[in-house]
Amino acid sequence: MMRSIPQIWSIDKLLGEKLIIPDYQRPYKWIAKNIADLILDIQKSIEESRKYANFKYRVGTVILHENENNEYEIVDGQQRTLSFLLLKLYFNPGFTCSLLSTKFSNKVSQKNLHDNFTTIREWFSSVSDKAKEEFCQALENTLEVAVIIVGKVNEAFQLFDSQNTRGRALYPHDLLKAYHLREIYDKYEMQNAVIKWELKKNEAIRELFDLYLFSFMELGQTREMR
């Protein structure tokens, strides 16, 4: 049975869990602009917390698949989670968690992780110690995520589909990719599939959907209605 009732976790609690990044995940693609937006978002939450007692600020949803080893595979929310980890490591260099054992073999992930940590370090280089402490407190107490945990990976993909179709607009092939990867059970086949998907150009695939696949599906639906 799908456990789809969200749990509310602080950022510290999230990072403290046995999180792993599954092989089918895309590379870490957040860049300096995304980090700047995240920091400004946290700054906004800090300003609001000064006005209201026990103020909490929701920063999104994370979908986790609990595997047979009692580890939580990140299905949705990898970009934001890793970015919070970079912030945590800046403020607390001695911080340890399971994600730190992840081997990022993808060059894009390696570069963005390095560059984003540099962005964080430069951003806070001229910030007062008091302001830094407020950011630490925000990670511990103010910021929250809605966490959905499921026991089967196909259920996690279903939630990923519905979560994203209700939220930001996705390319049609993003959902096709999710359905595709859901049916692959061999680890190496899945890794190769992820690489192939990432190499595709969004514009070309979007044109394929707009000009051919959508028209074909609409034609099929019309025939069924007759």
Q: Mean per-residue pLDDT for 10-29? A: 90
Q: What is the pLDDT of residue 186?
A: 56
Instruction: Please say whether the beta carbons of 157 and 178 come within 8 A.
Output: yes
DSSP notation for 78-115: HHHHHHHHHHHHHH-TT---GGGG-----HHHHHHHHH
Pairing of strands 57-66, 72-76: antiparallel
How much is the CA Rg of the chain, to the nearest whole Å? 20
Which residue in the block uniquely carries the two structure tokens 């693609």? 29
Q: Which residue has the higher pLDDT, 154 or 125?
A: 125
Neighbours of 167 (CB within 10 A): 10
- Model confidence over 30-56: pLDDT tens digits? 999 999 999 999 999 999 998 888 899
pLDDT band at residue 221 under the 50/70/90 scheme: very low
> Cβ neighbours of residue 34 under 8 Å, at least 6 residues apart?
79, 83, 116
The answer to whether residue 210 scores a pLDDT higher than 60 is yes
Supply the pLDDT for residue 128: 93
